[in-house]
Amino acid sequence: MIEYIHQIKEVHLDFSKINSITDLLNENDKTKNEGDVVFELCKPVFQEEPEVGMQVVITVLTELLGLHEAVMSQAIEEGEATVAANWAMDCRRIDDIITTLKDIQM
């Protein structure tokens, strides 16, 4: 699971096709940056009422919390106390954010 987390952040360039700076620029143009992808995914939500957007944010954070809990559990099983503690701290932070968002009146 921890390896999976690191793979998420990888850039999806096909380096086997890159032999020059021009090739790199061409391949880079083919990839969308993270901000563009996020904006495109959010466009339908922007058309809805604010309550829908808030629920989407809470849902995304809840899924992120589940991922953090799974990685933390795996780190505990693997005897990685420091890693587990770091993930646990982030779990608390994410949970606090979710709780705060749920308290906001729309």
pLDDT above 50 for 102: yes
The whole-number average pLDDT for the span 59-63 is 96
Residue 83 banded pLDDT, cuts 50, 70, 90: very high
Q: Which amino acid is at 88?
A: A
Amino acid at 23: D
Summarize pLDDT for 17-57 with one digit per residue, the tens: 778 878 777 777 666 667 777 888 899 999 999 999 999 99
**Residues 36, 40, 45: CA angle, nearest 5 degrees:** 135
Distance of alpha carbon 50 from alpha carbon 80, whole angstroms: 41
> Which pTM value belongs to this model?
0.68
